[in-house]
Homo-oligomer: A and B are copies of this chain.
Amino acid sequence: MTIALDAMGGDAAPGMVIRGASIARERYPEVDFLIFGRESEIGPHLDKLADLKAVSTVVHTDDMVSSEDKPSVALRAGRGSSMRLAINSVREGKADGVVSAGNTGALMAMAKFVLKTLPGVDRPAIAAFFPTLRGETLMLDLGANVVCDGRNLVDFAVMGNAFARCVVGVLQPTYGLLNVGSEEMKGHEALQEASAVLREANLPGHFVGFVEGDDIAKGSVDVVITDGFTGNIALKTAEGTASLISEYMRRTFKSSLLAGLGYLLARSAMRKLRKRLDPRRYNGAIFLGLNGITVKSHGGTDALGFANAIGVAIDMKKYGIVEKTRADFANLTQPSPKAQAVNG
């Protein structure tokens, strides 16, 4: 198996990328790497890691996508960038998946343009894991598609379901549509349409209907389906709330001598807690619905986080996510959502 790496994406690139590849190399000795970027910057890091160097091929390019580039600009002007060449290598069959810690919008635009979506998929989605009371929950879309119709939401359900089954290993995943209430008639038209289709669709697992905002953290379902606007707001609201509570904790512990002593004793426990809530633990974002494997690592991640993102790409290949998702779409009894909503 060969994984393509965009060595120039991420705050601490390319050193973080190379060290991350080295950690992944130890975990997955069967994997080779195709590393795209500036040879003069990559070389010194690679020279220190003989084991990694032995299984890596560096493809030099001076160009790179910056984190400020708009997706449309990156798509037009970044044809020689490390990100684009890494994605190209997947399309050309030289690599089995690509991992980048660079500009999310540019990566999605390029991956969609180069790899295309799977047959039956209108739009790819960004998925990620959320920590919950009972393990982890996958949620998508987290921002690739601001406006979604019922058909898009059904697609996301198929994609998320396939991922939960084949990569997470939940044989019969539960999944639900994020809404403002669990009653059947709640929410806007796209949700009603998607719900009507999913109730009739022959997807594996169990469609529970609508779930609410607090069901994300409760872990009420394995997969939460939503449009990219709502998903992005929910993700950032959850992150903001976690930061707020952590700051409140800090202030509360500093509020008295006794609380301060408690803090000293509780510090390592709190560190564990922070680690548990660290978004980097969840390996950044997974692009689903594409005809090829693309993983977006957090831009501010360290080598360990990047190695985790590589691990996700390897698992996606190993468990055949692209083929499974393609098969699910082929098997799906999917009438036009509008027709279904009217008939159903």
Which A residues fall within an 8 A CB radius of B? 131-133, 143, 146-147, 178, 180, 186-188, 212-218, 226, 228-230, 232-245, 247-249, 252-253, 255-256, 258-259, 261-270, 272-273, 276-277
- Among B180, B259, B277, the residue within 8 A (CB) of A245 is B277
C-alpha spacing A277/B143, complex, angstroms: 28
A213 adjacent to B188 (CB under 8 Å): no
A133 adjacent to B247 (CB under 8 Å): yes
Given contacts A180-B228, A233-B234, A234-B234, 19 further A-B contacts (CB under 8 A): A146-B186, A146-B187, A213-B233, A213-B235, A214-B236, A217-B237, A218-B243, A230-B230, A230-B233, A237-B237, A241-B242, A248-B277, A255-B269, A258-B265, A259-B269, A261-B265, A262-B267, A262-B269, A265-B265
Looking at the assembled complex, report how far the CB atom of A189 sits from the nearest CB atom of chain B, in whole angstroms: 8
A-B contact pairs, 24 of them (CB 8 A): A132-B244, A146-B186, A180-B228, A212-B236, A213-B235, A213-B236, A214-B237, A217-B243, A218-B240, A226-B233, A230-B233, A233-B234, A237-B241, A238-B241, A245-B245, A248-B276, A253-B266, A255-B269, A256-B269, A259-B265, A259-B266, A262-B262, A262-B267, A262-B269
B259 adjacent to A131 (CB under 8 Å): no
B255 adjacent to A272 (CB under 8 Å): yes
A229 adjacent to B266 (CB under 8 Å): no
